[in-house]
Structure 1
Amino acid sequence: MYETINSPLNYGGLTLKNRIIFAPTTLGLPREELVERMKTIAAGGCAMIIIGDVPVLPQHFVPCLYTEKGRAFYRSLADAVHPYGCKLCAQLHQSDSNIKAMMKYVPGVLAGRISKEELRPLLNQQVGPYITGLSEKKVKEITDVFGTAAELALQAGFDMVQVHGDRMCGSFSSSVFNHRTDEYGGSPENRARFAVEAVSAIRRRLPDVSIDYKLAVRQENPHYGNAGVLEEELPIFVPLLEQAGVTSFHVTLANHGELSDTIPPKNHPEFGAEGCFLKFCDQVRQLTKLPVCGVGGLTDPDFVEEQLKNGRMDCAAMSRQLIADPAWPNKVCSGRAGEVHRCIRCNQKCLGGMMAHQGVHCIYERKETT
Structure 2
Amino acid sequence: MNYETIASPISYGGAMLKNRIIFSPTSLGKSPDETIEQLCRIAAGGCAMIVVGDVSVLPHGFGPSLYTRKGMVFYQKLTQAVHRENCLVCAQLHQSDSNMRAMLKYVPGLLSRKITAAQLRELLNREVGPYVTGMPVKKIRRILQGFGDAAVLAKQAGFDLVQVHGDRMCGSFSSTVYNHRTDAYGGSCENRARFACEAVRAVHSRVPDMPIDYKLAVRCETPHYGNAGVLEEELAVFVPLLEQAGVTSFHVTLANHGALTDTIPPASHPRFGGEGCFLPFCDEVRALTKLPVCGVGGLTDPDFVEQQLRTGRVDCVALSRALIADPDWPKKTMTGHARDIRRCVRCNRACLGGMMAHKGVHCIFEKENAK
SS at match of 1:65: coil
In the alignment, the residues of structure 2 paired with residue 145 and residue 33 of structure 1 have an alpha-carbon distance, to the nearest angstrom, of: 28
1:193 CA displacement: 0.3
Would the alpha carbon gap of residues 61 and 283 (structure 1) be closer, same or farther in structure 2, given more than 3 Å must change? closer
* TM-superposition CA deviations, 1:43-64 (whole Å, max 9, x none): 0000000000100001265100
1:144 CA displacement: 1.9
Structure 2 residue identity aligned to 1:133: G
- Cα contact 1:132–1:179 (8 A) shared by 2: yes
In the alignment, the residues of structure 2 paired with residue 237 and residue 60 of structure 1 have an alpha-carbon distance, to the nearest angstrom, of: 27
Structure 1 residue identity aligned to 2:213: D
1:138 CA displacement: 1.0
1:83 CA displacement: 1.2
In the alignment, the residues of structure 1 paired with residue 62 and residue 229 of structure 2 have an alpha-carbon distance, to the nearest angstrom, of: 26
In the other structure, the counterpart of 1:35 is 36
Structure 2 residue identity aligned to 1:55: S
In the other structure, the counterpart of 1:14 is 15
In the alignment, the residues of structure 2 paired with residue 84 and residue 61 of structure 1 have an alpha-carbon distance, to the nearest angstrom, of: 27
2:247 aligned with 1:234: no
In the other structure, the counterpart of 1:365 is 366
In the alignment, the residues of structure 1 paired with residue 362 and residue 207 of structure 2 have an alpha-carbon distance, to the nearest angstrom, of: 36
Q: Which moved more, 1:316-325 or 1:118-127?
A: 118-127
Any gaps of 5 or more consecutive residues in structure 1?
none
In the other structure, the counterpart of 1:94 is 95
In the other structure, the counterpart of 1:52 is 53
SS at match of 2:76: helix
State the superposition RMSD in angstroms.
Answer: 1.1
In the other structure, the counterpart of 1:290 is 291
Any gaps of 5 or more consecutive residues in structure 2?
none
Return the TM-score normalized by structure 1. Answer: 0.99
In the other structure, the counterpart of 1:80 is 81
Residues 165-184 of structure 1 aligned to structure 2 (within 5 Å): 165-184=166-185
In the alignment, the residues of structure 2 paired with residue 166 and residue 249 of structure 1 have an alpha-carbon distance, to the nearest angstrom, of: 13
- Cα contact 1:144–1:197 (8 A) shared by 2: no
- Cα contact 1:212–1:248 (8 A) shared by 2: yes
Q: Which moved more, 1:258-267 or 1:135-144?
A: 135-144
In the alignment, the residues of structure 2 paired with residue 116 and residue 95 of structure 1 have an alpha-carbon distance, to the nearest angstrom, of: 17
In the alignment, the residues of structure 1 paired with residue 178 and residue 80 of structure 2 have an alpha-carbon distance, to the nearest angstrom, of: 40
In the alignment, the residues of structure 2 paired with residue 328 and residue 140 of structure 1 have an alpha-carbon distance, to the nearest angstrom, of: 42
Structure 1 residue identity aligned to 2:230: V
In the alignment, the residues of structure 2 paired with residue 292 and residue 60 of structure 1 have an alpha-carbon distance, to the nearest angstrom, of: 29
- Cα contact 2:56–2:62 (8 A) shared by 1: no
In the other structure, the counterpart of 2:116 is 115
Return the TM-score normalized by structure 2. Answer: 0.98
* TM-superposition CA deviations, 1:186-205 (whole Å, max 9, x none): 00100000000000011111
Q: Which runs of 4+ in 1 moved over 2 A?
A: 366-370
In the other structure, the counterpart of 1:212 is 213
- Count of paired positions: 370
In the other structure, the counterpart of 1:347 is 348
Structure 1 residue identity aligned to 2:122: P
In the other structure, the counterpart of 2:319 is 318
Would the alpha carbon gap of residues 32 and 367 (structure 1) be closer, same or farther in structure 2, given more than 3 Å must change? farther
In the alignment, the residues of structure 1 paired with residue 62 and residue 10 of structure 2 have an alpha-carbon distance, to the nearest angstrom, of: 36
* TM-superposition CA deviations, 1:127-162 (whole Å, max 9, x none): 000000111111111112201100100100100000
In the alignment, the residues of structure 2 paired with residue 41 and residue 199 of structure 1 have an alpha-carbon distance, to the nearest angstrom, of: 29
In the alignment, the residues of structure 2 paired with residue 106 and residue 275 of structure 1 have an alpha-carbon distance, to the nearest angstrom, of: 38
